[in-house]
Amino acid sequence: MTIADEIKRLKKEKNAIILAHNYQSPEIQDLSDFTGDSLELAIVAKNAKEDIIVLCGVMFMAETAKILNPSKKVLIPAEDAGCPLADYLTAEKVRAAKEKYPKAKVVLYVNSTADSKSEADIVCTSANAVSVCESLDSDTILFGPDSNLASWVAEKLPYKKIIPLPADGHCPLHAEFKPSDAKEAKERGYTVVCHPECPKAVRDECDVVASTGQMIKEAVKSDKWAVMTEKDMVHRLKKEFPDKEFLGFETAVCRDMKLITPDMLKKTLEDEMPEIILSDEIIKSAGSAIERMIKIKK
Ligand code: CIZ
């Protein structure tokens, strides 16, 4: 039996569903029942009927699945798959900012810890950050932890005051892209798309700024794309559009997303571990901020 067959057998035996983020390795994407961005994964997890949800992604994604569907057993094959961006913001920092700006609403990117989320008015992803901020009645918004995404939202909503929380939070992978990467790809005839977590100077050089889910929707508009986000997004795009050309950036690797291997996935199904355990209090407080986002969607 191949490992893929073993995983399929275990999945059936245990009544499990495997969800994978767009940044997972091609092998894990291909073994999953559903691949998507964090908003799509959250919605699929919320509606999952299976007894077990295996989340192949990073910790905050598995926590979100548990928060949205707490009666299910939620497993993550790599317990140490964290997010350096999420680590920029603690719940304590959010509380301090709320004291300083008592009238502001707090919008936290889904790439934040469950503790920080429990201090937020609403959560957002890169797919809906602009609509979530637009939906709020407050003109002042504390937005964290990605300062580049905060500046992208501020550009789109110039009539709102978007305060980044903290001022320097960033994704190390997206912050590494340079404006010259986009310029060179354009010279080679590519339409260039970058993620809104890229710095403004990079975004300004690109043809399109999009979350990974939006990249799939935008892809119909050109036959030749340079894709400035995690390198394995290209695998997802090629599967969706086999006749188009996609140029990835091989050094743009999210190490945390690459911790999960097919062997680990199989072992996780066998042992039903590691399991996500969250307190009822966190599930309730972080849950309301996430549920509010899901109602807005995009
Ligand atoms: O929202 C997500 O899943 C992330 C981390 C990126 C994206 O744009 O999909």
Backbone torsion region of residue 272, taken as left when φ is above 0, otherwise alpha when ψ lies between -120 and 50, otherwise beta:
left
Give the domain ranges of the chain.
3-82+257-277, 86-170, 177-251
The whole-angstrom separation of Cα 57 and Cα 259 is 9
CA distance 144 to 150: 7
The atom number, within ligand 1, closest to the CA of 196 reads: 8
Q: Tell me the fold of 86-170.
A: Rossmann fold (3.40.50)
Question: Which residues have a Cβ under 8 Å from the Cβ of 237 and sit 6 or more positions away?
Answer: 215, 216, 219, 225, 227, 244, 246
- pLDDT tens-place string over residues 195-235: 999 999 999 999 999 999 999 999 999 999 999 999 999 99
Please identify, in words, the CATH class of the domain defined by 177-251.
alpha beta
Pocket flag, ligand 1, residue 25 (CB < 6 Å) = no
Mutate-to-test residue for ligand 1 from 59, 212, 254, 297, highest number of ligand atoms within 8 A of CB: 212
- Is there an atom of ligand 1 within 6 Å of 35 CB? no
Give pLDDT tens digits for 265-295.
Answer: 999 999 999 999 999 999 998 899 999 998 8
Give Dmax (Cα) for the chain: 60
Amino acid residing at 199: P
User: Which residue in the block uniquely carries the two structure tokens 């119909």?
Assistant: 220
How is the beta sheet containing 52-56 ordered, strand by strand? 34-36, 16-21, 52-56, 73-75
Q: Do domains 3-82+257-277 and 177-251 have the same CATH topology?
A: yes
189 conformational bin, left if phi > 0, alpha if psi -120 to 50, beta if neither: left
**Does residue 298 register a pLDDT over 90?**
no
- We find that the CATH architecture of domain 3-82+257-277 is 3-Layer(aba) Sandwich (3.40)
Reported ipTM: the value is 0.91
Q: Specify whether the CB–CB gap between 197 and 176 falls below 8 A.
A: no
